[in-house]
Amino acid sequence: MTERLNNVRIPLTNAALSVLLIRLFLAFEWINSGTGKIQSILANSAPYFGGLSKAFLGWAKTNPYPFMVDFLTGTAAPNASFWVTATAILEVLVGVSLLLGLLTRLGALGGIVMNLVFYLAAGHTSPSTAGINLIMAGAQLAMMIAPGGRVMGLDALLHRKLARVPLW
């Protein structure tokens, strides 16, 4: 089975469909998370930032990584408005990258970095927090290796035009 996207033949094997579905589910998760944060920021920013600042300090109390304790207490908590806003924007950007299959490898790398930071910051608080961040990082690594954006994504068009560029 094949699809045509702007006169480019795209084979839709079971493996390709699996990569596409994983990419789209990851995109949904990132966009949903980022837009949720943005909505909270726009609706009532002061209590939202204050609550997250307290959460950062709470995570730091039991965090097993000294460098992360220092980051949470010395950087993230006092500057929660900056870090939460930046995180929300980056989450949406990663999600859009994966949704469109545009610069998918770069978007997946950004997602991996965020998931690893989230894992180090709060993974110790529950098995589900640790698990979802590790699963998402692993799935995004698959997007980088596959490369996931060439399956019904704009990276397929870019690859045809600029095949030597490793971003797609």
Measured between alpha carbons, how far is 83 from 22 in angstroms, rounded to an integer? 27
**Is 90 exceeded by the pLDDT of residue 98?**
yes
pLDDT for 68 equals 98
Look at residue 77 and give its three-state secondary structure.
coil
Q: For the chain, what is the mean pLDDT?
A: 91
Band of pLDDT at residue 151, cut at 50, 70 and 90: confident
Rg of the chain over Cα atoms, rounded to whole angstroms, equals 18
Decide if pLDDT at 65 tops 70: yes
- Residues 6 or more apart whose CB falls under 8 angstroms from that of 27 comprise 95, 96, 97, 98, 99
Task: Collapse the DSSP code of 20 into the 3-class scheme (helix H, G, I; strand E, B; otherwise coil) and give the result.
Answer: helix
Per-residue pLDDT, 10:
56
What is the pLDDT averaged over residues 112-140?
98
Largest CA distance in the chain: 56
Is the pLDDT score of 54 beyond 60?
yes
Higher per-residue pLDDT: 14 or 21: 21
Q: Which residue spans within 12-126 are E strands per DSSP?
A: none
Q: Which amino acid makes up residue 68?
A: M
Has residue 1 got a pLDDT over 90?
A: no
- Exposed (0-12), middle (13-18) or buried (19+): which is 148, by Cβ within 10 Å? buried
